[in-house]
Amino acid sequence: MTAEPEPPSPAPLMALSTGFWGFKTLAAAHELDLFTRLAGGASTTCLELAEALGICHRPAEMLLTGCAALSLLEKRGGRYRNAPISEAYLVRGKPDYFGGWIEMADKRLYAGWGKLAEAIRTNRPTTWDPAVQASIFDAEDPTMLALFWEAMHALSTMTARRLGEALDLGRFRHLLDIGGGSGAYDIELCRRYPHLRATVFDLPHVTAIAAGKIALAGLGGRIGTVPGDFFGTAPFPGGHDVHLLSMILHDWSEEKDRALLRRSFEALPSGGLAVISELLVNDDKTGPAPAALMSLNMLIETEGRNYTPSEYAGWMEDAGFRDVETVWFDAPGANGAVVGRKP
């Protein structure tokens, strides 16, 4: 008689079902400014943190222990200090500060993901009401909108660096960032390519945010802004030989994405390049997990989803682009770029 095979360990299910514990520990520590308090080599004990925050010793000890267990803090000689990743990305005011994304995930996305089953049943977002707003970007609460753009700037800054390393833009002179948001991609790509100029094309209230970020970066002489609606009837701004659509197409339906690619093709000169930078779902639609889960995030936030390289390539070719290829890289906001040339 053949013995029944041993069932797999349930440990992965335990890890999945408690995944939010780690996130909420990070989010709480960030909200309490723990990592900023410990910036520059500062350290604390449980008692000192309790006194500084005006809280009891018990939760202070639990928070520090949790952050150390998650490798966010290190403990030496009885004192807790920032781990390198926290010092680099979780200290307010640092160039690579990632806290905007953490805060948006905590204050906006967390509640929406709590209603994921509702989103699946209804095929409607849960972080905003489609009966009241035309889209996620329409009539949004100013506080949440500010959170959104700070989060996108953090995510886009690091992603733009990896894109700039993976894709050679050396022969191009003027980039149009369609739906360019805070201008993070433009800032990083212009830093990498000293000859490159860029234009952020987005809604008026967004280009105002971008103008501030560009000024802070000292790149006002090379990066401009043009307010407009990329779904509008006017052609895209001319005079650009490369178009960038970064973390934009996943917000919208196939029909709208195809329309954007057609408009891009029409506006580019011969030899111009279109670049779609996204977290790409593989063609088998089995992963990778960051792209597949971001796609579910689009379910609670937008009308779109995360698409595959083959889907984007087909749409680009239908729009007229040729020599379409996928360039892979590793970054927080994207894992690759689908690029196509206008003949």
Cβ–Cβ under 8 Å, residues 136 and 100: no
Enter the tokens of residue 163: 């894109």
H or E element that contains 198: strand 197-202
User: What is the DSSP annotation of 226-245?
Assistant: EE--TTSSSPPPSS-SEEEE
- DSSP bridge partners of 77: none
CA-based nearest residue to 227, from 209, 206, 248, 212 = 206
Distances (CA, A) of 260 to 183, 235, 255, 338: 19, 11, 9, 15
Check if 57 is active-site: no
CA-based nearest residue to 176, from 106, 121, 246, 113 = 246
Q: Which residues are tagged catalytic?
A: 250
